[in-house]
Amino acid sequence: MTESNERFEHATFAGGCFWCMVKPFDEMPGIEKVVSGYTGGHIENPTYEQVKSNTTGHREAVQITFDPNVFPYKKLLKLYWQQIDPTDPGGQFYDRGESYKTAIYYHNEEQKEKAEASKRELEESGRFQKPIVTDIIKASAFYSAEDYHQGYYKKNPFHYNQFHKGSGRKDFIETNWKAKKDEKELRERLTDMQYKVTQENGTEPPFNNEFWNNEKEGIYVDVVSGEPLFSSKDQYDAGCGWPSFTKPIRLAQIEEKEDLGHGMIRTEVRSKEADSHLGHVFPDGPGPKGVRYCINSAALRFIAKEDLDKEGLSEYKQLFD
């Protein structure tokens, strides 16, 4: 093993269909790669057809190669729980049977202790009324799935989105894992403009907002939930009077919806966790994908590069290395 690879560790999670378990982890800071595959069974090099027959003992899983100094295992666990129904003993959503049951496969005793602690924390939180049935199992041989399964959400985005919604996973996550909104608390915490923009789909005045011409290094987070959304490295002056970006930090952190308001056809951008209205995306950007994310300053909070550690967002420092 080379010196550059010694800093990486593996995390292995089963969460039902592995197509849906790649995107949440992919391209996060400190994550080197996410591989779809099979683990826990009694035959070597199984095929997809063999595994889905529920006769091999294998489960569909993802194996994540990550740098724990950038993205700690505890954060991986938190993200994992938010992708699944941990109370389902018979599979996940549309997919039923042994091969689709949930599990955390630990690679060492430290991972085992953290997995067990995170499971207890979820049980004691009262978020679910049913028992938490996700298994915690010692990791064994992991077999990569066929090429067409790898990065499926990128290769086949239309079918992936249909399946993610149609299987019931998307609605379950939105119902059970999205941040709960307290209208009274939000009205007290947010300014009138922040509330109007994020909660009422408003738009602030151009050239008269906080970040339209920001030149400091740092990241922008959702003003409601604190989830990281955009980086100053991807910000540019589009001449429109609002902060403009060539891309979000991760596509998985935002959602795009058709907006037919004001007699126009536009694509609205919302934050995934808090469901805050952020702005719109247009096909006239300078980046490699030719898009411009036009975002309201009032929907954002800026965290300077030097403040990322104290804000608990150390993993995002690598954006500025």
At 67, which CATH number? 3.30.1060.10
Q: Does 208 share its domain with 168?
A: no
Nearest Cα neighbor of 31 from 39, 20, 18, 22 is: 22
Amino acid at 137: I
- Give the C-alpha separation, 301 to 218, whole Å: 10
pLDDT at 254: 86
Q: Which among 124, 3, 8 has a CA at the least distance from the CA of 65? A: 8
Same domain, 147 and 245: no
What are the two backbone dihedrals, phi and then psi, of residue 182, each rounded to the nearest 5 degrees? -110, 105
Same domain, 269 and 230: yes
- For residues 25 and 170, state if they share a domain: yes
* 146 and 248 together in one domain: no
Helix axes 73-81, 109-125, angle to 10 degrees: 40
Same domain, 63 and 203: no
pLDDT of 7 reads 86
- Residue ranges of the alpha helices (H) in the chain? 48-52, 73-81, 109-125, 152-155, 157-166, 169-176, 183-189, 192-200
* Domains identified in the chain, total number: 2
Type of residue found at 306: E
Comparing CA positions, the residue from 139, 119, 138, 136 lying closest to residue 128 is: 119
- Strand segments, DSSP code E, in the chain are 9-15, 31-39, 59-66, 91-92, 95-96, 102-106, 135-138, 142-144, 218-222, 228-231, 235-236, 244-245, 254-259, 266-271, 277-282, 292-295, 300-304
Which of 145, 176, 207 is at the close of a domain?
176
Identify whether residues 210 and 255 lie together within a single domain: yes
> Whose CA is closest to 16, among 71, 131, 76, 96?
96
| CB-CB neighbours of 251 under 10 Å | 16
* Same domain, residue pair 15 and 154: yes
CATH number of 220's domain:
2.170.150.20
Residues of the chain short of pLDDT 70, as ranges, are: 1-5, 261-264
Nearest to 304 by CA among 234, 214, 216, 211: 216
Same domain, 157 and 24: yes
Q: Which of 158, 176, 194 is the last residue of a domain?
A: 176
How far, in Å, CA of 125 to CA of 81, rounded? Answer: 13
Tell whether 309 and 261 lie within a shared domain: yes
How many beta carbons lie within 10 A of that of residue 285, not counting itself?
20
Residues annotated as catalytic (active site), given as ranges: 17, 294
Domain's final residue, options 176, 204, 222: 176
Residue 301's DSSP bridge partners are: 221
Closest CA to 243 of 272, 221, 273: 221
**Residue-range definition of the domain harbouring residue 139:** 3-176
35 and 168 co-located in one domain: yes
Q: What pLDDT, on the 0 to 100 scale, is given for residue 262?
A: 63
129 shares a domain with 215: no
